[in-house]
């Protein structure tokens, strides 16, 4: 069985562990060896060899003592933006080189309490700023479907590792698309819940009003298992939603009124914003997305035309608000409290300047400058305040849509994964590619990406589903129904 162990997803692994067909030690050993043999992908920033074996042993002991749990003994890894007590945390930045957190992020702690085994920390764009993982200060991540292409970002290590079957699932964060877009580029399933569903405690802040954690996995079912464990109120995050813990897995099999086995989505109205299908949308992406929508129709869903008229404006709005918050959040990296400090400096101001000049990469510096500019006296009203007003209008546009439909669907990104280096000289080109993920981020709505086919160069194409606030269950239910009737999410990149 061992050769195929890595093909097991979270749910299947949980069952195999329950039935005693494998042990956590076996799967952990297998996956550690597998990550080592695929280290050229650059997915891991740190591998937790000894720690993972100890956790696997502990999980096996808990099972031997009669304990059961869907995640008990299941290996995964965390995006390196979640702080961890026993492993280094870099946020993909040189400025945090050598940093050790005195505590675990809530998401990490909750998954550990559920009995997961942490295989390591995963590569990401520096402070989660990017869409290709090329802004990591350590190494680019390669897309397992084509090593000359990017895996998407900023949760690129998470997406590539899941796609390459180095692990069944991983955590990620999404500020403007960083779970959905890499999931789409790498052919895996990912969900960004409603803002406030997962605690941001211990998640290194990029843009606090937008940052959300979520899982990347093989399927909606696996995402549901992870999200149930990761989410829930946390008094240590003042923006955490005060709601009872949810069982997202149970939502998968909750039958809709009027549904039948063949038409599980009967009565579900799916809105297609016309702005999500512009003329500039790549034909291969549009083709795959439209075919997936037909698949949803066959399952009983009805497609309705809706409009999100400010879709294009979400780019300038996001690229004002996110840098503004980032410039403030990143002021804490000053050479005094965390990680790197310049070796040679004169006075205190000089130490700050040298530390930050050495520690931050080009994209992070660009955003600190933009953010400082839009928040400065005289520009605050013209840029930041205007952006905040538009943000509210974008959120209102969604509510107008949800009067006509239950879920919204469209592409995740305007094209398939691009080639490494392709957008190096043009950061704005990368910003523009965020067009379909930013609206839901600005509105704080849940969104997911699921494999929907293949496009140019045999690269995966993702379908995006967006729900109303706290409708993660409905999103996962629809995605699960789609995955029960299709096998895009089971496809493996060649050589894996
Ligand atoms: N691509 C977007 C950015 O560069 C989103 C990143 C994210 O969601 N963390 O900011």
Mean pLDDT of 249-275: 94
The stretches of 80-179 forming alpha helices (DSSP H) are: 106-113, 156-163
> How many other CB atoms are there within 10 angstroms of residue 228's CB atom?
22
Q: Which domains does the chain have, with CATH numbers?
A: 2-237+245-254 (3.90.1300.10)
Ligand 1 contact, 176 CB (< 6 A): yes
Q: Name 130's Cβ contacts closer than 8 Å, sequence gap at least 6.
A: 136, 153, 154, 363, 430
pLDDT on residue 255: 83
Predicted local distance difference test score (pLDDT) of residue 1: 44
Does residue 132's CB lie within 6 angstroms of at least one atom of ligand 1? Answer: no
Centre of ligand 1 to C-alpha 287, Å, is 26
Q: Is residue 378 classed as helix, strand or coil in its secondary structure? A: coil
Catalytic, out of 79, 121, 192, 423: 79
How many angstroms separate the CA atoms of 442 and 382, rounded? 19
pLDDT at 2 over 60: no
Mean pLDDT on 124-132 = 98
> Is residue 285 within 8 Å of 453, Cβ to Cβ?
no
- Reply yes or no on whether the pLDDT at 184 is more than 70: yes
Specify the residue with its C-alpha closest to ligand 1, atom 5.
176
Ligand 1, atom 4: closest residue by C-alpha: 130
| Residue 94 among the catalytic residues | no
Q: What is the pLDDT of residue 4?
A: 85
Tell me the average pLDDT of the chain.
Answer: 97
Q: Is 438 in the pocket of ligand 1 (CB under 6 A)?
A: no
Could you please report the per-residue DSSP string of 248-313? HHHHHTPPPTT--SS-TTTT-EEEEEGGGS-TTS-HHHHHHHHHHHHHHHHTT-EEEEE--TTTTT
Q: Are strands 447-454 and 189-192 parallel, antiparallel or unpaired?
A: antiparallel
Residue 375 has pLDDT above 60, yes or no: yes
Kindly state the average pLDDT of the residues 167-173.
98
In angstroms, what is the span from residue 208 Cα to ligand 1's centroid?
A: 13
- C-beta of 152 in contact with ligand 1 (< 6 A): no
Q: What percent of the chain has pLDDT over 90?
A: 97
Q: Kindly report, residue by residue over 44-66, the tens digit of the pLDDT.
A: 999 999 999 999 999 999 999 99
- Percent helix, strand, coil in the chain, to 5, is 45, 15, 45
pTM above 0.85, yes or no: yes
Q: Does the pLDDT value for residue 3 go beyond 80?
A: no
Regarding the beta carbon of 493 and ligand 1, being less than 6 Å apart is answered: no
Active site residue 353: no
Q: Quick one: average pLDDT of 428-454?
A: 97
Residue 106, pLDDT above cutoff 90: yes
CA 449 to ligand 1 centroid distance, Å: 15
Residue 280's pLDDT is: 87
Pocket test for ligand 1, best of 91, 129, 211 (most atoms within 8 A of CB): 129
State yes or no: pLDDT of 477 exceeds 70: yes
- Ligand 1: which of 81, 122, 131 to mutate, most ligand atoms within 8 Å of CB? 131
4 Cα: distance to centroid of ligand 1 (angstroms): 34
302, β-bridge pairs: 269
The catalytic residue among 16, 101, 131, 178 is: 178
Task: Tell me the HSE value of 19 on the side-chain side, using a 13 A CA sphere.
Answer: 6
Could you tell me if the CB of 434 is within 6 A of ligand 1? yes
Looking at 182-191, 249-258, 320-329, 349-358, which range is the least confident one?
Answer: 249-258
Rounded to the nearest 5 degrees, what angle is found at the Cα of 43, between the Cα atoms of 38 and 49? 75
Bridge partner list, 234:
none
**DSSP codes joined into one string, 34-93:** HHHHTGGG--EEEE-HHHHHHHHHHHHHHHHTT---TTTT-EEEEETTB--SSS---TT-
b (16+ CB within 10 A) / e for 180-216: bbbbbbbbbbbbbbbbbbbbbbbbbbbbbbbbbbbbb
In the block, residue with structure tokens 């000359």: 148
Find out whether the beta carbon of 213 lies less than 6 Å from any atom of ligand 1. Answer: no
Q: What is the mean pLDDT of residues 27-31?
A: 98
Q: Which of 133, 154, 205, 207 to mutate to test the pocket of ligand 1 (most atoms within 8 A of CB)?
A: 154
Q: CA–CA distance from 51 to each of 46, 57, 117, 217, 350 (Å)?
A: 12, 10, 8, 22, 40
Q: Which residues pair with 170 in a beta bridge?
A: 77, 216
The reply to whether ligand 1 has any atom less than 6 angstroms from the CB of 325 is no
Among the atoms of ligand 1, which is closest to the Cα of residue 319? 10
**What is the token pair recorded at 52?**
């993972």
Residue 255 has a CB neighbour count (10 Å cut-off) of 11
CB 267 within 8 A of CB 257: yes
Ligand 1 atom at minimal distance to the Cα of residue 206: 9
pLDDT for 256 equals 86
Residue 389: which residues within 8 A CB-CB, separation 6 or more? Answer: none
CA dist 407 and 327 (Å) reads 34
Active-site annotation holder among 93, 154, 186, 199: 154
Residue 158 Cβ inside 6 Å of ligand 1? The answer reads no
Give the integer Cα–Cα distance in Å for 172 and 264: 29
């Amino acid at each position: 069985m061992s050769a195929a162990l890595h093909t097991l997803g979270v749910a299947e692994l949980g069952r195999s562990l329950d039935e005693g067909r494998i042990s956590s030690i076996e799967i952990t050993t297998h996956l550690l060896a597998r990550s080592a043999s695929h280290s050229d992908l650059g997915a891991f920033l740190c591998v937790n060899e000894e720690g993972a074996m100890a956790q696997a042993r502990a999980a096996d002991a808990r099972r031997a003592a009669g304990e059961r749990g869907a995640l008990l003994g299941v290996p995964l890894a965390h995006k390196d933006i979640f702080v961890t007590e026993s492993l280094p945390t870099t946020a993909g930045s040189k400025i945090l080189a050598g940093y050790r957190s005195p505590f675990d992020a809530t998401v990490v702690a909750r998954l550990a309490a559920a009995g997961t085994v942490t295989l390591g920390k995963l590569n990401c764009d520096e402070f989660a700023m990017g869409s290709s993982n090329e802004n990591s200060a350590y190494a680019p991540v390669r897309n397992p479907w084509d090593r000359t292409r990017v895996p998407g970002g900023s949760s690129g290590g998470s997406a590539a590792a899941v796609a390459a079957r180095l692990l069944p699932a991983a955590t990620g964060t999404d500020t403007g698309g960083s779970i959905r877009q890499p999931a789409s580029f790498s052919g895996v399933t990912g969900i960004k819940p409603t803002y406030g569903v997962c605690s941001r405690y211990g998640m290194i802040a990029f843009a606090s009003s937008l940052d959300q954690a979520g899982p990347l996995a093989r399927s909606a079912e696996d995402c549901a298992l992870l999200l149930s464990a990761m989410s829930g109120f946390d008094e240590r995050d003042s923006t955490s939603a005060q709601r009872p813990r949810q069982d997202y897995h149970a939502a998968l099999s909750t039958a809709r009124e009027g549904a039948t086995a063949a038409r599980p989505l009967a009565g579900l109205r799916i809105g297609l914003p016309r702005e999500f299908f512009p003329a500039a949308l790549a034909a291969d992406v549009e083709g795959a997305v439209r075919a997936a929508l037909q698949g949803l129709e066959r399952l009983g869903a009805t497609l309705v035309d809706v409009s999100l008229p400010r879709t294009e404006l979400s780019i300038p709005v996001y690229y004002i608000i996110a840098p503004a918050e980032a410039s403030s959040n990143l002021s804490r990296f000053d050479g005094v409290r965390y990680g790197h400090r310049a070796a040679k400096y004169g006075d205190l101001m000089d130490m700050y300047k040298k530390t930050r000049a050495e520690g931050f990469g080009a994209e992070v510096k660009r955003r600190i400058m933009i953010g400082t500019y839009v928040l400065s006296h005289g520009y605050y009203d013209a840029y930041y305040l205007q952006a905040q007003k538009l943000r509210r209008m974008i959120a209102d546009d969604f509510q107008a849509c949800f009067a006509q439909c239950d879920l919204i669907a469209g592409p995740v990104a305007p094209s398939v994964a691009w080639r490494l280096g392709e957008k190096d000289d043009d950061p704005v080109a990368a910003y523009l590619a965020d067009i379909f993920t930013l609206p839901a981020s600005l509105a704080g709505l849940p969104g997911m990406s699921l494999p929907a086919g293949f496009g140019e160069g045999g690269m995966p194409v993702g379908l995006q589903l967006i729900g109303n606030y706290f409708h993660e269950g409905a999103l996962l239910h629809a995605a699960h129904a789609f995955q029960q009737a299709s096998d895009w999410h089971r496809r493996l990149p060649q050589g894996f």
